[in-house]
Amino acid sequence: MPTRGTAADAMLRRRSYSSVGDEAPSDKELRRAIEVAGTVADHAALRPWRIIAIRGEARERVGTAIAEASGATGPDAEKLARKPLRAPLLLAVVVSPQPSAKVADWEQEAVASGVAHALTLLLDEAGWGVMWRSGHYTRSDAVHRAHGLEPHERLLGWLYVGSKPEKKSGRRTPIAAKRHLSSL
């Protein structure tokens, strides 16, 4: 299967970067990536998602909310509060379900997840390091408030975005497709 310059090439090349540098995409670059990512398959074109860009001091507010959500105190809370400072830009991925008799909530959440994955591919292709981080904090009241989410919205996690480090990320082990493909 040819892979040079194709979607397959982008997917095979993409890696998660747990550590990124201090540079981040501009708002203009980010808007373009979101415009493209927003073209994922979306039953009834509901656009049941939104992205919140978190930069600068706003990352500290998110960190404080994560620490509050954990119930930790002292050094443990301080460590948790610093997590969002690992990248200059966090993109909060929010599923914002739309009323629909045809499209179930789970399908709308799948669309939001698809947008997030497409964003990781597009940002990687543009030369940025990206890591999708999540966890039980995403469903906490404190984190919900810190992001200004509406009652019906859910946070799926954050894309931590920054310049790629000089050290390359490890090789990805290919999957054994026969273990994941069956026929009827």
pLDDT in tens, 131-169: 999 989 999 999 999 999 999 999 999 999 999 988 766
Tell me if 136 sits within 8 A of 23, measured CB to CB: no
pLDDT, one tens digit per residue, over 21-77 is 999 999 999 999 999 999 999 999 999 999 999 999 999 999 999 999 999 999 999
pTM of the model: 0.91
Tokens (6 digits) for 99 = 């009323």
Tell me the C-alpha distance between 6 and 11, whole Å.
9
132 within some domain: yes
How many domains does the chain divide into? 1
What local confidence, expressed as pLDDT, does residue 170 receive?
65
Angle (deg, nearest 10), helices 105-125 and 27-37:
130
Range of the domain at 41: 17-165
Closest-CA residue to 147 (of 84, 99, 75, 74): 84
What local confidence, expressed as pLDDT, does residue 14 receive?
83
pLDDT band, very low/low/confident/very high, at 12 (cuts 50, 70, 90): confident
114 within some domain: yes
Closest-CA residue to 92 (of 49, 45, 127, 151): 49
Least confident window among 91-95, 97-101, 150-154, 169-173: 169-173
What local confidence, expressed as pLDDT, does residue 56 receive?
97
What local confidence, expressed as pLDDT, does residue 13 receive?
80
pLDDT band, very low/low/confident/very high, at 2 (cuts 50, 70, 90): very low
182 within some domain: no
Alpha-helix residue ranges (DSSP H) falling in 26-182: 27-37, 58-70, 74-82, 105-125, 141-146
118 within some domain: yes
The backbone torsions φ and ψ at residue 18, rounded to the nearest 5 degrees and listed phi first, read -70, -20
pLDDT band, very low/low/confident/very high, at 1 (cuts 50, 70, 90): very low
What local confidence, expressed as pLDDT, does residue 51 receive?
98
Single-letter residue type at 29: E
CATH number (domain holding residue 68) = 3.40.109.10
38 within some domain: yes
Tell me if 142 sits within 8 A of 68, measured CB to CB: yes
82 within some domain: yes
Average model confidence (pLDDT) across the chain = 92
179 within some domain: no
69 within some domain: yes
Tell me the C-alpha distance between 43 and 106, whole Å.
12
Is the model's pLDDT at 4 over the cut of 70? no
